[in-house]
Amino acid sequence: MAALWGIEMQDIIESIRALTHGETDTVALMATVACELHHAHPFADWTGFYRVTAPNMLKIGPYQGGHGCLVIPFSRGVCGACARTGQVQNVPDVDAFPGHIACSSSTKSELVLPVWNGAGQLLGVLDLDSNTPAAFTKTDEDWLVPLLAEVFKDAA
């Protein structure tokens, strides 16, 4: 794997695996993953999770960076679109995304991935924001999706 994140992606994967091995607490897993990813990505401005806390509602979870939105309905923004559809949202220009919620005016691009447990329950979304346009690639999606599935498979 290439060193697109400032360090080898395989090193990040191995670090997250080691740190989360045997853990099933969703919040503990989210805190660890957010920290590791945020400090590894050279363009990370905000990295964190929004947790499903009620039907069609996301609430802020563990994160790194400045303040985020506290509550996001599934009907709004990039995070809401990810939660609503269950599909990765890779937005190279947030200003071009209909209904984008500007939790931070400095955000230029965003990658949001659904987080499922092994039982198929949507736990929340992982939100990576950058003040750099087009900061996230398909390659990022391709290794983060299976890593999230692995880390959160036994989460409650």
pLDDT in tens, 71-82: 999 999 999 999
Residue 141 to residues 63, 67, 89, 110, 114, Cα–Cα distance (Å)? 19, 24, 9, 12, 11
The domains located in the chain, with CATH, are: 9-152 (3.30.450.40)
The reported pTM is 0.93
Residue entry with tokens 């931070």: 104
Residues with Cβ within 8 Å of 1's Cβ and at least 6 positions away in sequence, in order, are 8, 9, 10, 143
Write down the H helix ranges in 86-156.
138-152
Tell me: pLDDT of 85 over 90. yes
Tell me: pLDDT of 38 over 80. yes
Average pLDDT, the chain: 92
pLDDT given at position 3: 44
The whole-number average pLDDT for the span 101-127 is 93
